[in-house]
Every structure is written in C-alpha cells, then in structure tokens.
C-alpha cells in the first residue's frame, strides 16, 4: 500500500478563518469611530455584513446530559483450541472483522497452547446507547456478531451481562437487554430536521477508551452505500470501538448510529457514516417485538437508468429503476410488471434513483397491497401489487433459461443484425409474449454489444412480437438518432443503443 502524506492545511485555514471573522466583527462594530473624518463623510465606504457564523459550540452540556446513556460493549466468543492463535488485542480483531480482512494466524509468544474444550476469549469492543430505562440498548449488529457473551459497562462503571434480543445484518442494527431499571435513556431526534453543515457529536469507546467525545459537522445526507440504508456522512472522528455509539445533534438528541468509516489505512481519514436513527428505530422496534425483521419484496431484479437510455425512450430526466428480470410467480409477475419496465413511483412516491425502490418496498409490511407506476414504451401505467415477504438471505433470481432456437431469418442491414422468429417453447421458457432472436450481430450491432442468442423485445419504444413487427418498428425509427432496443439476454433485460454508421 502506498504511503500517504498529509500536510496541516486545515490548521492554516482555521487560523485564517478565525482571523477573518474577528476582523469582520471589529470592522462592523467600530468602523464609524475608527475612520478619519474625511473618509467618514464620503459615501463610498461599504460596511461589510455581519458574518453568518461566529464562535464555536460548547459541547459540555451535551456530554453531561447524554454521556450517562452511552455504554461500552465488550464481547467474548468461544474458540476451539487450535495449535496457534491470532495474538492480537481486541481493537485490532474488531477492525479486521469489521472490514472483512482475514485475521492473521500468529502464535502467541510465551503462551502455552490450550488443551481440552474451547475457552472464552475477548472478541471485540464497541459502543451502544440506552433506548429505554428498563435496559434495552441499541448497537451495531457487527459489534455482537458471533459473540457468546456480551458485557455492557455503564458510565458509572457498573457491568451487566446482556442478552441479544435480535440483530439485523442488512441494516447493521442490534438490540441487547440488560437486567437493570431506572437507567438514563437517550432522546430520539428527527433526522428530517438534520441539515448539511450542522454540528454533531459522537460519544463512544474508540480503541476501548470509554466515554470519548468527538465532534464535527454533517457532510452529506442520503449517502448511498448500501441497499437498505441512506447513510449520514460526517467528518466526526470515528475509529474501531466507536461502532454502535450515538451521533447527537446540538439538542442532545440521537440522530444516527455510528457504523462505518472510509479508510485506506484502517484509521479515521475524515469520512464516517452513521445509520439514520429513524431507520434504526424502525428496525429495533421489530427486533424487540419478534427478534427479527420482516421486509417486503416484489420479485424483480433492477438496474440503473442511464441518461442516454432516458433520452432515447422519452423518459425525460434520469429517474426510476429499470426492471431487468422478473421472477416467475412473483408479486411483480402477477401484477403484470415486465422486463424493460422502468418503475418511476411506488405508492405515489417518486423513485428518483435505483436504490429508492428496495428501500421503499423493504419498509412495506408483507401482505400490503401497493401501487407501482411503470414507464413502458412511452407511457406510464399504474399496476396493483401484493407485497410478499423477504426470506432470510434470499437472492431473487429469474428462472428462465434463455436458451434460443433457430428460426426464419430476416436481415436488418442498417444495423448489422440478422434476426429470427422465436418458437412457442422458447417464449414459454423465457416467460415472454413475443420478440425476435438475434442470429448474428455485426458492425453497428456488434459495436453496441449485441450478440447471437439475444432476444429483442422492443425497438424504439415499440413492442416487437415477431420478425415482421421488428422490421416495421425499425422502419419507423428516426435514422438520425441512435436506435434503442430492449434486449433480453439470459435472465437479464436491458436497453442497448445502436448507432448506425458510428453516429
């Protein structure tokens, strides 16, 4: 890994910023008294406006108010007695597990190899915060993953052995319970009121250092780093051991759970991510009630809509989620959703980007009847769909095998395509109503990525059911622009743009 060097530019910037702020304030308050009389009589002097931000926040009251509700979490796991052990401390082990790095197998020097049954060893360290006075504590799922024992230490140094109520890997949220009453609990904030540039504070146990306080600002909201969560990005210093601790606003309310960092070295590099508390509470409520999280599913595989595709099919701005495959007998199939559809709304809410759909569907209670708006061949239509339940760790796959068969041929010289009819058996195998099979692709078609065995479902937003329909749709297409084809390849459906003569 190449070494990285950092110069203390931020120190200079801060110093200049404070000096500039001080000068501006002094000028606006005393300009008329300091200027010479001759200058004071002129009208050319412009008094600068007051600075938008003055001074720095004092976090001491926040620490006093919220600190008692933040806890340290230690975990142990039962290990088998192998010839060698990692020999690492808890913090490094937590780091390796969190970022998916295999733990090196380094023998402990000066330590005899254990014999007999497995024994308890420290496995990790993290943070958490008290949700309710009766002992429910929220943390990250990766903090308690694989733990045989969870030890919670309060700010007053009392220790409790905790029970894992439930953990959800998809959102990295977990809830544990300790046997205690009358505990100080946090206040839950409104993430909707959180603004980029707003001051926030974190309390946790980086590297096992309990009740450590760091602060910074919100760098971005709705940051896409996962399927089910839009993260809060901050520049608050977060390190291994901070995981599961609260991110607090200036009102002392929890707005997020510190969960991830971006790093090339393993340490903090100025970018950290927190799970929005509204998403976390939704998950924790289910964990407390049933010990697991249920999510909705509709049975589609989706992809991104590119600018070129949006323009070529008349969608306008880039939006929605492109349906690349539909599971047979799924809610989507029963609702009439087809490969090539672009889902632009779910229950009336806009799907601005592809990640919006799984989040909205996932937050829908299974068994709910919802409405999906799709864009299909130049028109939008509403489809009613009954949301099903996601099975644990299920991966949705379409089962059509996509095997083509030969048929009659017709030549589309301007595109470099030779296409043929699909048999009824092929249509049934692919779960499609019509289309034409690509027998060969050369020149412009080949450059666009088409190949033998692909199935063309639509040309320039016109549905294709057979070779005759393909040629008719192609004849109507604007020859001065790239031609969009809706193409099925195996289990996947996507738009391909063909540029005749390299246009």
Other beta carbons within 10 Å of 89: 12
- Which of 107, 74, 69 lies closest to 88 in space, CA to CA? 107
User: Own/partner pairs for 360-365, CB < 8 Å, 24+ apart?
Assistant: 361/295, 361/296, 361/297, 361/298, 361/387, 362/227, 362/228, 362/295, 362/296, 362/297, 362/390, 363/282, 363/295, 363/296, 364/295, 364/296, 365/294, 365/296
188 and 265 part of one domain: yes
Q: Mean pLDDT of successive 10-residue segments in the chain (503 residues)?
A: 36 32 35 40 57 77 94 82 48 51 45 53 86 95 89 94 92 94 94 93 88 93 73 90 93 92 66 92 93 90 88 89 88 92 94 88 91 92 93 38 36 72 80 84 81 87 86 80 85 82 57
Range of the domain at 156: 56-107+116-293
369 and 384 part of one domain: yes
pLDDT score for 11 = 31
334 and 305 part of one domain: yes
The verdict on whether 243 is a catalytic residue reads yes
The verdict on whether 39 is a catalytic residue reads no
Select from 234, 261, 293 the last residue of a domain. Answer: 293
pLDDT score for 494 = 85
Radius of gyration of the chain (CA): 30
491 and 434 part of one domain: yes
**Local structure of residue 387 (DSSP, 8 states):** -
pLDDT score for 7 = 35
Q: Judging by beta carbons within 10 Å of its beta carbon (0-12, 13-18, 19+), is residue 377 exposed, middle or buried?
A: middle
Options 123, 127, 168, 172, the catalytic residue: 172
Strands 253-261 and 187-188, by their bridges, are: parallel
103 and 246 part of one domain: yes
267 and 281 part of one domain: yes
71 and 177 part of one domain: yes
Element containing residue 202 per DSSP (H, E): strand 199-204
pLDDT score for 400 = 28
The Cα 133–Cα 16 span in angstroms is 46
Give CA torsion, residues 223, 226, 227, 228, to 10 deg: -70
267 and 381 part of one domain: no
Task: Answer whether 0.75 is exceeded by the pTM.
Answer: no
Options 142, 330, 356, 454, the catalytic residue: 142
Question: 3-state class of 97 per DSSP?
Answer: helix
Residue 176 lies in a domain: yes
pLDDT score for 397 = 26
Residues 470 and 436: beta-carbon distance below 8 Å: yes
Record the tokens describing residue 373, joined without a space.
């708006």
Q: Is 340 left (phi over 0), alpha (psi -120 to 50) or beta?
A: left
The verdict on whether 142 is a catalytic residue reads yes
259 and 373 part of one domain: no
Domain of 268, CATH number, reads 2.40.10.120
Residue 378 lies in a domain: yes
197 and 321 part of one domain: no
Residue 308 lies in a domain: yes
Options 243, 272, 330, 370, the catalytic residue: 243
Q: What is the count of structural domains for the chain?
A: 4
Residue 101 lies in a domain: yes
pLDDT score for 312 = 87
Residue 231 lies in a domain: yes
Residue 4 lies in a domain: no
Select from 359, 389, 419 the last residue of a domain. Answer: 389
131 and 254 part of one domain: yes
Residue 1 lies in a domain: no
Strand extents, DSSP E, 390-450: 409-412, 417-421, 436-441
Element containing residue 403 per DSSP (H, E): none
Residue 394 lies in a domain: no
Domain of 309, CATH number, reads 2.30.42.10
Q: Judging by beta carbons within 10 Å of its beta carbon (0-12, 13-18, 19+), is residue 77 exposed, middle or buried?
A: middle
Select from 293, 314, 342 the last residue of a domain. Answer: 293
What b/e readout covers 329-365, taking b as 16+ CB neighbours within 10 angstroms?
Answer: ebbbbbbebbbbbbbbbbeeeebebbbbbbbbbbebe
262 and 331 part of one domain: no
């Amino acid at each position: 890994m190449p070494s990285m060097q950092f110069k203390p530019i931020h120190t200079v910037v801060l110093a200049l910023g404070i000096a500039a702020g001080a000068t501006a304030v002094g000028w606006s308050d005393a300009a008329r008294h300091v200027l010479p009389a001759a200058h004071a009589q002129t009208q050319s002097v412009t008094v600068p406006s007051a600075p938008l931000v003055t001074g720095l926040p004092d976090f001491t009251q926040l620490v006093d108010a919220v600190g008692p509700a933040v806890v340290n979490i230690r975990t142990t796991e039962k290990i088998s007695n192998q010839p060698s052990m990692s020999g690492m401390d808890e913090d490094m082990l937590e780091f390796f597990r969190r970022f998916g790095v295999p733990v090196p197998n380094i023998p402990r020097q000066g330590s005899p190899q254990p014999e007999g049954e497995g024994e308890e060893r420290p496995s990790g360290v993290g943070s958490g915060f008290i949700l309710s006075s009766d002992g429910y504590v929220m943390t990250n799922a990766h903090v308690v993953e694989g733990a045989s024992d969870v030890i919670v230490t309060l700010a007053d140094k009392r220790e409790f052995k905790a029970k894992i109520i439930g953990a959800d890997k998809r959102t990295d949220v977990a809830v544990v319970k300790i046997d205690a009453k009358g505990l100080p609990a946090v206040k839950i904030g409104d993430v909707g009121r959180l603004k980029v540039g707003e001051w926030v504070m974190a309390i946790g146990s980086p590297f096992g250092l309990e009740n450590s306080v760091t602060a910074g600002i919100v760098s971005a909201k709705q940051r896409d780093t996962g399927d089910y969560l839009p993260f809060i990005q901050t520049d608050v210093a977060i390190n291994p051991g901070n995981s599961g601790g609260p991110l607090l606003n200036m009102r002392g309310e929890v707005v997020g759970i510190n969960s991830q960092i971006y790093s090339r070295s393993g340490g903090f590099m100025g970018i950290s991510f927190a799970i929005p508390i509204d998403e976390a509470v939704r998950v924790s409520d289910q964990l407390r009630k049933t010990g697991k999280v249920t999510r909705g599913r509709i049975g589609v595989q989706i992809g991104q809509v590119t600018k070129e595709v949006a323009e070529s099919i008349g969608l306008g701005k880039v939006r929605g989620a492109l349906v690349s495959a539909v599971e047979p007998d799924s809610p989507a199939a029963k609702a009439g959703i087809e490969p090539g559809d672009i889902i632009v709304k779910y229950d009336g809410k806009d799907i601005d980007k592809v990640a919006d759909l799984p989040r909205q569907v996932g937050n829908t209670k299974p068994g709910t009847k919802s409405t999906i708006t799709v864009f299909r061949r130049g028109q939008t239509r509403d489809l009613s769909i009954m949301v099903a339940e996601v099975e644990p760790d299920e991966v949705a796959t379409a089962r059509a095998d996509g095997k083509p068969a030969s048929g009659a041929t017709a030549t589309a010289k301007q595109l470099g395509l030779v296409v043929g009819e699909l048999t009824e058996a092929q249509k049934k195998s692919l779960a499609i109503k019509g289309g034409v099979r690509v027998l060969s692709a050369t020149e412009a078609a080949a450059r666009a990525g088409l190949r033998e065995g692909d199935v063309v479902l639509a040309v320039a937003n016109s549905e294709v059911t057979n070779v005759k329909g393909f040629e008719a749709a192609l004849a109507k297409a604007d020859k001065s622009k790239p031609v969009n084809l809706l193409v099925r390849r195996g289990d996947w459906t996507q738009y391909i743009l063909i540029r005749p003569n390299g246009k």
